């Protein structure tokens, strides 16, 4: 397991996961969030190729609809 920061809190996940796999591991629906990865907004096209590393910093924001 590796340790990283998610929304300012320490979380763990198995090593060698990509971003989508990590979100699913934490039971977060990847279709409903935006992700900042180490200080930069990460476009969805890169989520499958971005491997989660120890000490990464993620900010995960839930997308909500409304009017």
Q: Over the stretch 21-35, which tens digit does the pLDDT of each residue have?
A: 999 999 999 999 999
| Mean residue pLDDT across the chain | 95
pLDDT of residue 64: 77
* Spatial distance between the Cα atoms of 18 and 64, rounded to a whole number of angstroms: 24
* Spatial distance between the Cα atoms of 58 and 67, rounded to a whole number of angstroms: 28
Average pLDDT over residues 39-45: 96
Average pLDDT over residues 39-58: 97
pLDDT band, residue 66 (cuts 50/70/90): confident
Average pLDDT over residues 27-46: 96
Domains and CATH numbers, the chain: 2-62 (3.10.20.30)
Q: Give just the sign of the alpha carbon dihedral 43, 45, 48, 51.
A: negative
Instruction: Judge whether 35 and 47 are in contact, CB under 8 Å.
Output: yes
């Amino acid at each position: 397991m590796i340790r990283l920061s998610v929304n300012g809190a320490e979380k763990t996940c198995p090593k060698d996961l990509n971003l989508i796999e990590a979100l699913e591991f934490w039971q977060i629906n990847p279709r409903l969030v935006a992700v900042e990865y180490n200080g930069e907004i990460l476009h969805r096209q890169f989520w499958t190729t971005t491997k989660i590393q120890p000490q990464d910093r993620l900010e995960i924001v839930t997308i909500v609809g409304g009017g």
